[in-house]
Every structure is written in C-alpha cells, then in structure tokens.
Structure 1
Amino acid sequence: MKITSTKLKDCYIIEPQIFGDERGYFFESFHLKKFTETTGLAVNFVQDNQSSSTYGVIRGLHYQIGVHAQAKLVRVLSGKVIDVAVDLRPDSETYGQFEAVELSAENRRQLFVPRGFAHGFSVLSESAEFAYKCDNYYNKESEGGIKYNDPELNIDWQIPLGKEIISEKDQVLPLLSDLKKK
C-alpha cells in the first residue's frame, strides 16, 4: 500500500499494491497498522457507506461538525469520479483550500479525508459505485455543507455547465464565506 501526502495536512492518497494473474487480482484496500505507521493518524472505522450515481451527479460538499465529525476513506468500485476534500479546520494553514483527485475502478486509488473537511465528488463515467468508510456515525443534526459551485473555491468538477445533476438540498448549501462569518 502506497500512501502519498497531499497539499492538505492529514489528507492522503492511498494506492494499493495489486497482485494479479490469470484468475484476476487481489489487493489489500486498507491496513490499519501501515496507515498509522505512515501517517501518524489513529482511525477506527465504524460505518461503511455506498452510493450509486449516474454521469453528471455532483454530491457534496458535505461534512459533520463537533463530536460527530467524520474522517472518511473513499474509493470507487466501478466507474470514475473527481473526488474533492476541502479543509475547514479554522486553525489550519490550508483552511479553505481543496484537493481534487481522480478515483476510479481502474486506478483503485483511495482518498483519506480527515475530520474537519468537507467532501464531495462528481461522476465522470456513465455511472459509478462509490464506497467509503467513516470513523464516526452519521448524525443528521450535525451535518453541514458548502455549495458545490462556490466561486471562492472554483472547483473544476469536470462536468459541462448544464449537465450537472444536483440534489435540491445541495443546491441551497451556503458558501464558504458564510461559514467564515459564524
């Protein structure tokens, strides 16, 4: 398992070592000891989630606050997405910055998104199956979000204008600047 730092502190790209032969392949998608030794972070995943989406869907940018904040390890089981993590930790030197990574069934990359980050993705393939582990349970009262097309972030979701599919809930999320005012 290869673990690479991103420009955002505590946010990592994880690439598995793949063992293949005529039968197919095998890889270790996560190894807690290796992850902890490499990153210095301790995680305990308690919930696994999976979603299915079609081309043009943008989900996010979502986060959980307070004691219900979640770290996530995300990956694509089929298809291809642009996955985005936004640092919302007020004391972070990279506050308000984001990392965008292509995740696909083909490249088998994963992104570790630490607590204190917003997260979202856009589907670039006909469809995508997206899976993620969380280190804390979902709590509806603690959910928050940032609007996907926030001009301050200027994220390139790689979906042509007018082809985006956005939930009603995600269309009315606040901007990053609105969070800064709180």
Structure 2
Amino acid sequence: MKIRPLSIEGAWEITPQQHGDPRGLFMEWYRFDRLAAAVGHPLRLAQGNLSVSARGVVRGIHFADVPPGQAKYVTCVRGTVVDVIVDIRIGSPTFGQWEAVRLDDVDRRAVYLGEGLGHGFCALTDDATLSYLCSTTYNPAGEHAVHPLDPELAIEWPVETPLLSARDDAAPSLAQAREAGLLPSYETCRSFVEGLRPGGMPYSEGI
C-alpha cells in the first residue's frame, strides 16, 4: 500500500497492492495503522456509506462544520469516477484550489480527506459505486454544500452536462458561502486535527 499526500494539506491518495491469480484477486483496501502513520492520527470509524450514480452525475461539493467535521476515506468499488477535493478553509494557503483523483475498479485507489475539506465526484460510468468510511455520523444541521459549477472554483468536470441534485444545484457559490459564514477556518481545522493526534504519534509525509 502506497500513501502519498496530495497538493491540498489534509488529503491523501492511497494505492493498494493487488495480489491476483486465475481465481481472482485480493488486496487490503484500508489499513488502520498505515493510514494513521501517514495522517498522524487514527481515523475514527462512525459510519459507512455507499452511493450509486449514473454516468454524468456530479455530487458535491459537500462539507461539514468543524468541529467535529467529517473525515472521509473513499474508494470506488464499481465503475469509474473522478473524485475532487476542494480546499474551502478560509486562510489556507490553497484556499479555493482543488485536486482530482481518478478512482476505479481497476487500480482501486482511495482518497482520504480530513476535516474541513470539500468533497465531490463525477461518475464516468453507469452504476459507479463509491464506498465511504466516515469519522462522524450524518448531521443534517451541520452539513453544507458549495455549487460544483461555481466559476470561481472552475472545476474541470469531465462531462458536458453534469447531472446535479436539486440540493446541489441550489447550493451557494464559494463567495456566497463565505459571506454567509458557512466555511470553516484553516486555523480551526488545523487545531482540531492536532487534537486528534495521540501523544508521540509521528507524522509522515507518505508511506
């Protein structure tokens, strides 16, 4: 398993080692200890989600209030998606920037995004199925969204006409969300994540 940090602080890409033979394959798609060593603290598993999307569907950009936020470990178990992490933390050096990672059922990569980051994806195949491990349970009052087609973000979605939910289509722009006080601050997020680290746990830039 290879874990490497992405360009946005608090996000990692995980590439598992697959072992195959004529019978099929086996892999470790999640390792508590390896992720904790890279991230600097354990991922508290509070909820598991599964989403199935048709080709062309775009979901996001979703985020949660910090504290407690919601860290996510996301992998695609069927089909292909382009997964997008957006830095919505006010004061962050990469505020407003995004990074995309292709997740599919061939390379079987995963992404981990820490508390305070925005998340979305675009389904490139029908029945694209994502599995999420989440650090907190769903809290409707603390869940928010930024419009995935916001020109300020300028996310390069790989479809001509993205299919959005009514909620996502009505979501505010990044500027509107900031004006409304919905966005988390970089310092608050960093302080919260630091508080999750056990005493003496080393921090690694990747494994």
Confirm or deny a common fold (TM above 0.5). Answer: yes
Q: Secondary structure at the match of 1:94?
A: coil
- Aligned CA distance change for structure 1 residues 48 and 135 (closer, same or farther; 3 Å): same
Q: AA paired with 2:18? A: I
2:177 aligned partner? 179
The 5 Å alignment of 1:110-149 reads: 110-149=110-149
Q: Distance in 2 between matches of 1:48 and 1:113?
A: 15
3-state secondary structure, aligned to 1:121: strand
Structure 2 unmatched ranges of 5 or more: 182-207
Q: TM-score, normalised by structure 2?
A: 0.83
Distance in 2 (alpha carbons) for counterparts of 1:84 and 1:167: 17
Taking every aligned residue pair, what percent have the same amino acid on both sides?
36
Superposed counterparts of 1:1-182, under 5 Å: 1-160=1-160, 163-181=161-179, 182=181
Moved more, 61-70 or 100-109: 61-70
C-alpha distance in 2 between matches for 1:151 and 1:165: 17
- Shift in Å at residue 42 of structure 1? 2.7
Does structure 1 conserve the Cα–Cα contact (< 8 Å) formed by 2:3 and 2:14?
yes
The amino acid that maps onto 2:2 is K
Given that residues 66 and 115 in structure 2 are in contact (C-alpha distance below 8 angstroms), is that contact kept between their aligned partners in structure 1?
no
Asked if 1 retains the 8 angstrom alpha-carbon contact of 2:68 and 2:115, the reply is no
Q: Distance between the aligned counterparts of 1:31 and 1:152, measured in 2?
A: 36
Look up the SS of the partner of 2:150 in the other structure: coil
Code of the aligned partner of 1:127? D
Equivalent pairs, count? 180
Give the distance between the partners of 1:41 and 1:100, measured in 2 at CA. Answer: 24
- TM-score scaled by structure 1? 0.94
Q: Residues 18-44 of structure 1, C-alpha deviation per residue, up to 9 Å, x if partnerless? A: 111111111001111111122323321
CA contact (8 A) 1:60 1:120 kept: yes
Deviation at 1:76, TM superposition (A): 0.5
CA contact (8 A) 2:75 2:131 kept: yes
Superposed CA deviations along residues 48-96 of structure 1, whole A, max 9, x for unmatched, are: 1001110111111111113341000011111101101111222321121
The letter for the 2-side match of 1:76 is: C
- 8 Å Cα contact 1:16/1:109 also seen in 2: yes
> Structure 1: where are the runs of 5+ without partners?
none
**What per-residue deviation string (whole Å, max 9, x for no partner) do you get for residues 97-156 of structure 1?**
111111111110101011101111111113301111100111000110100101011001
In proportion to residue count, which structure has more strand? Answer: 1
In 2: Cα distance, 1:31 partner to 1:13 partner: 13
Question: Letter of the aligned partner of 2:16 in structure 1?
Answer: P
Distance in structure 2 (CA, Å) of the matches to 1:93 and 1:73: 23
